[in-house]
Amino acid sequence: MDKHDHYYHRDDLGRFGEIGNNVGPLAEKFFAWYGAVFTDGALSAREKSLIALAVAHAVQCPYCIDSYTRDALEKGSDLDQMTEAVHVAAAIRGGASLVHGVQMRNTTDKIGM
Amino acid sequence: MPRHLPTLQERRSPLASASTQLDRLHALALPRELDACLAEAGHHPLRAEGVKVLQLNLGKRCNQTCRHCHVDAGPDRTEVMAHEVVVRCLELLDRSAIATVDITGGAPELHPEFRWIVEQVHRRGRHVMDRCNLTILETRPYRDLPQFFADHDVEVVCSLPHYRGPSTDAQRGDGVFASSLRALRRLNEVGYGQGDPKRRLVLVSNPVGAFLPASQRSIEAEWKRELRRLHGIEFDALFCITNMPISRYLEWLESKGNLASYMDRLVTAFNPAAVEGVMCRTTLSVGWDGTLYDCDFNQMLELPITTHRRTIHDVDLDALAGRAIAVDRHCFGCTAGAGSSCGGATA
């Protein structure tokens, strides 16, 4: 099967920099800001990496999941901690769906008998 | 007790041979060669800056068989430094100003003259570092070693991949984490890990997998907090060390299909600033048979020093001072990211 029959290609992660084509100054700002975000601050670089890993699962980005699995390990997290982070993401996603059930109930109250 | 994996030598694996290990590394297509990287860093050829640390590898016998061991150490290994070699090492101390003796193995405590060696080095006023796997301190003949270490101002440098258990046991064997914690508590009880420079307790973390180590500067405070909170243990410093793509770690990389990508990672993470502090520039490493090397990794790859006199029996200290270091592709392990040495990060 031709690789372009798939939407996601592992090699494309290495081409991330191409998002700067045509808009170099914007990409420079993005990558500089991106790099600064993940440095040690009030949160440690390890904690930020776990947040990134959780968000990667919430937004279901395969590139980000690969990147931040490796990054979390390289920042000193272990598999238990990373798995708990993914469960946090899943809990927020699940909770976000369920809390909309209140909206569903409000609507039902309004139009139902 | 920890389970024992068979060593490469016990399994008669082709990777028990140093030349086979180098062949496997040379067969890879790397994005850059080490010579070009060292030249970029202004260190080609890489040269020593005298000898500040005398590293003694007392032998390959160990009570553990960790998956990543660069020595291929284990209970079946019989190599041990002879008394005559030890005496030559002490004589070298007597005619030099080498400040530190770094004792390693295997489990160096298993050497029949380990305590005598420590006493002799201490008597000469030199700083002694013992690279300890911790679990050896939980075996009956060695349970009193923490007090012996304290009595001789030995800096204890211990292996612990993580402050939580699963990673440690995955790398070092079932039950190693629990045993290591017991040993650390006993080191704490005799004064280690409380900030006393004569009772210095250092933890060494190697990645449990095919990735680079964490920044020790970034995570040391968290390790101290978590080891205290979870286990009531104190320590003085954390070293984060890169796994070298040799010996049993090389075998593991190959078995998981990770060798090419790991080497690519090491090469692309080459950091010119890390070169300045690599340990080989200030270390003389003595093998169990008296052969001289630039570091313990070169020792395991049987790459001796490049000067004419290559054994402890005819060592020429003056010639060692500015010698060209023997380098090969495995050296990318010490120059990646924040750098790696027996003292942790170098940049």
pLDDT tens per residue across all 347 residues of chain B: 445 789 999 999 999 999 999 999 999 999 999 999 999 999 999 999 999 999 999 999 999 999 999 999 999 999 999 999 999 999 999 999 999 999 999 999 999 999 999 999 999 999 999 999 999 999 999 999 999 999 999 999 999 999 999 989 989 999 999 999 999 999 999 999 999 999 999 999 999 999 999 998 889 999 999 999 999 999 999 999 999 999 999 999 999 999 999 999 999 999 999 999 999 999 999 999 999 999 999 999 999 999 989 999 999 999 999 999 999 999 999 999 877 777 777 77
Chain B interface includes A45 (CB < 8 A) = yes
| Nearest CB neighbour to A80, from listed B166, B215, B222 | B166
The pLDDT assigned to B40 comes to 94
The pLDDT assigned to B3 comes to 57
* Residue A63 pLDDT exceeds 90: yes
Please name which of A45, A50, A82, A52 lies closest in space to residue B215, comparing C-alpha atoms.
Answer: A45
Please name which of B329, B290, B324, B318 lies closest in space to residue B305, comparing C-alpha atoms.
Answer: B324
Helix (H, G, I), strand (E, B) or coil at B263: helix
Contact B211 A46 (CB under 8 A): no
Shortest CA gap B44–chain A (Å): 29
The pLDDT assigned to B4 comes to 73
**Interface predicted TM-score (ipTM):** 0.76
Q: Distance between CA B279 and CA B301 in Å, rounded?
A: 16
CA distances from B241 to A29, A76, B44 (A): 33, 12, 24
Chain B interface includes A73 (CB < 8 A) = yes
* Residue A1 pLDDT exceeds 60: no
The pLDDT assigned to B1 comes to 45
Interior angle at CA B261, CA B259 and CA B266, nearest 5:
95
Burial class (CB in 10 A: 0-12, 13-18, 19+), B155: buried
Q: What is the CATH number that goes with domain B14-335? A: 3.20.20
Percent of chain A at pLDDT > 70 equals 96
Q: Distance between CA B132 and CA B129 in Å, rounded?
A: 9
The pLDDT assigned to B272 comes to 94
Q: Read off the pTM.
A: 0.90
Tell me the residues of chain B between 218 and 237 that have a Cβ less than 8 Å away from chain A.
Answer: 218-219, 222
CB pairs under 8 A between A and B: 40
Chain B interface includes A96 (CB < 8 A) = no
Chain B interface includes A84 (CB < 8 A) = no
Q: Which residues of B touch A44 (CB under 8 A)?
A: 218-219, 222
Contact B218 A46 (CB under 8 A): yes
Q: What is the H or E stretch that residue B24 is in?
A: helix B18-26
Shortest CA gap A50–chain B (Å): 13
Please name which of B265, B245, B331 lies closest in space to residue B295, comparing C-alpha atoms.
Answer: B331
The pLDDT assigned to A4 comes to 63
**For residue B257, how many C-alpha atoms fall within 13 Å in the half-sphere facing its CB?**
0
Tokens of B335: 């120059």
Q: Distance between CA B333 and CA B2 in Å, rounded?
A: 28
Shortest CA gap B259–chain A (Å): 15
User: Tens digits of per-residue pLDDT, A7-50?
Assistant: 888 889 989 999 999 999 999 999 999 999 999 999 999 999 99
Q: Which residues of A touch B215 (CB under 8 A)?
A: 45, 75
Fill in the DSSP letter of residue B312. Answer: T
Tell which of B203, B204, B215 to mutate to test the A interface (max A CBs under 10 Å): B215
The pLDDT assigned to A3 comes to 57
Phi, psi of B201 (to 5 degrees): -120, 115
**Which string of DSSP letters, residue by residue, matches B232-262?**
----SEEEE-PPPSSHHHHHHHHHTT-HHHH
Strand-pairing partners, residue B55, are: B102, B285
The pLDDT assigned to B162 comes to 94
Structural domains in chain A plus CATH codes = 43-111 (1.20.1290.10)
